[in-house]
Structure 1
Amino acid sequence: MEVLLKNTSESEIEILFELSWEEFLPYCEKACLKISNDLKVPGFRQGKIPMEIVIREVGDEKVFLNAAELAINKEYEKFVSEKKLEKEIEVMGLPKIEILKLASKNPFSFKIKTAIFPKFDLPDYKKIALQFPKKEISATPEEIEEALARIKKSRTEFEELETPIKEGDFLEIEYNSPQIKEDTCFKDGFFLGQGGFIAGFEENLIGMKKNEEKEFNLQDKGKQIFFKVKVHKIQKANIPELNDDFAKEFGCVNLVAFKQVIEREIKKEKEKFEIQKIQTEILKKIIEQTKIHISELLLEAKKEQMMRELKQRVENNLKISFEKYLEEIKKSKDDLKKTLINEAKKRIQTFLILKKIGEQESITVERAEIEPLVNEFLKNFLTDEKKKNIDIDALREYYRNIIYTEKVLQKILD
């Protein structure tokens, strides 16, 4: 077999493979065996049909295309493994494949274009990290009180009322207004007096009863706005008192100890946020001082991935189709994809830089570090039915990348 390697740029290579007919023939035989497993020919058992009979039945094009796929996968994987072992080239992303010649009793040739890990010099990232010292973090009394208020609210019990609405009641309503949005019914839950509606809206609800409907007009910024409201629930909020008994529900001996726990948790969260902020600033500086040639193949693949992620977020969070979303933002898919170029480049640069720093610092991730995260995901987020379809190796690689990135970022800070 002949293999010709050519660098088309600093970040892409082109590989020309040519197999003689004798080298390609075993792949044809394997393809015939695979096809014959599902082929029914009188006088022959499935999986035991001679190659010439398979070709007669399905045609040589199908056999050769199946054989080509087997040959490309095998020979390209072998090439990549050898080059990685020799530390000559590290390919990235999915390759672009082009079959050049495929015919009976002739050499089989194909061409592969792929992105590679580009060569680049890193700046002194440890020196850059020193420009961003960690700040002393503390929890303010106001933050502690706000946290306590949120916890109290989460433990509030609601008692449904049949009495007319009054100030301080918790309401569940639905309303519509053609001036706000045509043919749309809004649902909301709020404490009367704290709903944040336009002036006069909440005042109009006082005295209404459960299941009652009401129509009224309000003035806002010189415009008349019509509202139609229906009350679904009127509730009294029984907010717990902050005392030692309340603290004991959380495993603390008294309220003072509970506040100390909250203070530590706030401090921990703020420290985590501060570290993430510093890491982002350090990476930004490293990117600014690093010149990397990014493969167009890799860039296009990253934009496609980001489009898929955006589509999923739109459908899951906004509950509308991606086509409807594009209509609302008045952009085509191609227009939207163009806006992702800078972010796609930044993500690729970040990945390449962190990978190279990790290699220089001999960062490794052990299987024992990955498995607990994989097991937790499988246990908490997937049903038994969904577990059957999951790609465990891909899940392990996902968590390996997360752990690797965290270790590299921590190494830079250290």
Structure 2
Amino acid sequence: MKSAVETLGPTRAKLTVEVPFEELKPSLDKAYKSIAQQINVPGFRRGKVPPMVIDRQVGRGTVLQEAINEVVPQKYVEALQTHDLQPLAQPEVEVTRIDDNEAIEFTAEVDVRPEITVPDWHGLSAEVDDVAVTDDDVDEQVEALRERFGTLNDVDRPAAEGDFVTIDLVATRDGEPVEGAEVTGMSYRVGRGGMLDGLDEALAGLSAGDDATFSSQLVGGDLVGQDVDVQVKVSQVQEQELPAYDDEFAQLASEFDTAEELTEDVRTRLGNGKRLEQAAAARDAVLERLLDQVEVPLPESIVDDELTERRRSIEQQLAFAGLTFDKYLEDEGQTQEEFEADLERRVRDAVAAQFVLDKVANDLEVGVDQTELTEHMVRRAQQSGQDPQEFANHMLEHNHIPELVAEIRRGKALAQIVESATVTDTSGNVVDLKNLRPDGTLGDPAEAEADPTADTAETAEEPAEA
């Protein structure tokens, strides 16, 4: 086999492959045997029809085509290996020459991984926000904890913000009820929002037995986004009574004996969470610094495919949340053009980050063992709300394991880049990332030296979108 490669661009290559007939012959013999099993020819048993008879019955061209269909993928892979090309998508293959009993020739155009040079990434610097837990943060968490143990009491007064009401809703359009737009006996907290525009305003001042009608737009169904009239009727108004925040409550709601101990634990947990957020911001900032120093050509087909997938995912999430795309843009304060530009920027940064981290992982000869793969699949399953075994079976069945391995390698490469960086907060303090545990606490430096990948690899497993 002879092959040559032509560079069509930084991420596009064209292979020209010539296969001599002797290398095609095993596939040709196989094609004859296969066709012999499929045809009936008087005087010959099935499977015993000679090649010359098959040529007369079905045509030599048909046999050649079947042989070519088998041999081209094999020779394409061999040519990729010969020229050390890493394809990113399926190739566009064209058979350009068939010389019977001599040779065949085909071309294959394909997007390939770009050649990039990653500069020395040791000692990158980045800045992140301080870790700050305010009294308001603690009060908000304490209030949420008290609400979990609150009781609801009926009140004989108009509903006010914060009250819980039991309501019936009926939507009509031009005086006719809208199919599927009726709710009975629903519990709703006044002022919570996120349901129908105008509902909170209509409920304010209504007592049990009162009703009101307001105009709104449906967030789901055939009339999504269209104006309708909504009648809301209140059947019950309840006020939430919160327990006193004292030592007795602390013993009821936690393992602590005093409210002071519970408050301190809340503050500590908030600090751990904010420290993890700071670590994620540090990871993103360091990666962004590295990407700023690297020129990464991007295959447009890969970018387009990723854009399509991102749009589809966003549409699904909006539909699940009962939101229209226009409503989403309104809430985000974006125009359609701004949304598309921001999405494309994030996709391009994410694809570039993958290429850069793959290069770093290769340079470091990063490996992945079975334990790491299993743990990664368990985490991915938990994130998507799936059963870990079902998730693993799906990944195996659809050959997604190489993608998971690539994710782990990128995460480990990014972890090393981040650990070598100098990250400071806005106050000028060095942020300790090397000793950060997965729960947000800081471990003993001796632990990190004993197992340098134990902690930070967890927090840096998925490259963020810069």
Tell me the TM-score normalized by structure 2. 0.65
Mapped pair 1:174 → 2:179: no
2-side partners of 1:260 and 1:343: how far apart? 39
Q: Note the C-alpha offset of 1:351.
A: 1.5
What is the match of residue 191 of structure 1? 189
Aligned AA for 2:305?
Answer: E
Summarize the Cα distance change of 1:349–1:194 in structure 2 as closer, same or farther, 3 Å threshold: closer
Equivalent position to 1:351, from 348, 351, 354:
354
Deviations for 1:199-237, whole angstroms, at most 9, x for unmatched residues? 85223532326xxx543689xxxxxx9953234764645
Mapped pair 1:118 → 2:107: no
Mapped pair 1:71 → 2:67: no
SS in 1 for 2:368: coil
Report 1:262-411 matches (<5 A): 262-294=266-298, 298-318=299-319, 342-375=345-378, 381-382=386-387, 390-392=395-397, 394-411=399-416
Q: Note the C-alpha offset of 1:311.
A: 1.8
Segments of structure 1 that go 5 or more residues without pairing to the other structure are: 219-224, 330-335
What is the match of residue 424 of structure 2? none
What is the match of residue 16 of structure 1? 16
Aligned AA for 1:174?
Answer: L
1-side partners of 2:405 and 2:353: how far apart? 16
Deviations for 1:292-343, whole angstroms, at most 9, x for unmatched residues? 333xxx32133123303422431353159xxx979x99xxxxxx98986544
Summarize the Cα distance change of 1:251–1:338 in structure 2 as closer, same or farther, 3 Å threshold: closer
What is the match of residue 221 of structure 1? none
Summarize the Cα distance change of 1:413–1:313 in structure 2 as closer, same or farther, 3 Å threshold: same
User: Percentage identity across aligned positions?
Assistant: 12
What is the match of residue 201 of structure 1? 202
Segments of structure 2 that go 5 or more residues without pairing to the other structure are: 217-226, 330-338, 420-466
Cα pair 2:127 2:285 within 8 Å, conserved? no
Mapped pair 1:147 → 2:170: no
Q: Note the C-alpha offset of 1:16.
A: 0.8
2-side partners of 1:141 and 1:228: how far apart? 41
Mapped pair 1:109 → 2:112: no
What is the match of residue 427 of structure 2? none
Deviations for 1:74-110, whole angstroms, at most 9, x for unmatched residues? 12223334554xxxx4443332222212465352211
Cα pair 2:116 2:295 within 8 Å, conserved? yes
Cα pair 2:214 2:230 within 8 Å, conserved? yes
Report 1:24-43 matches (<5 A): 24-31=24-31, 39=38, 41=40
What is the match of residue 417 of structure 2? 412
Equivalent position to 2:131, from 116, 134, 137:
137
Cα pair 1:11 1:117 within 8 Å, conserved? yes
Q: Note the C-alpha offset of 1:409.
A: 2.2
Aligned AA for 2:287?
Answer: L
Tell me the TM-score normalized by structure 1. 0.72
Q: Note the C-alpha offset of 1:350.
A: 1.4
Summarize the Cα distance change of 1:204–1:34 in structure 2 as closer, same or farther, 3 Å threshold: farther
Q: Note the C-alpha offset of 1:45.
A: 5.7
Q: Note the C-alpha offset of 1:14.
A: 1.7
CA RMSD of aligned residues (A): 4.5
Aligned AA for 2:3?
Answer: V
1-side partners of 2:58 and 2:390: how far apart? 37
2-side partners of 1:238 and 1:10: how far apart? 66
Report 1:248-259 matches (<5 A): 248=251, 252-254=255-257, 255-259=259-263
2-side partners of 1:14 and 1:347: how far apart? 26
Which stretch shows the higher mean deviation, 17-26 or 99-108? Answer: 99-108
Cα pair 1:5 1:13 within 8 Å, conserved? yes
Deviations for 1:151-200, whole angstroms, at most 9, x for unmatched residues? 444555668x7988644233444354879xx9694878532366584885
Report how many aligned residue pairs link the two structures: 382
2-side partners of 1:52 and 1:157: how far apart? 90
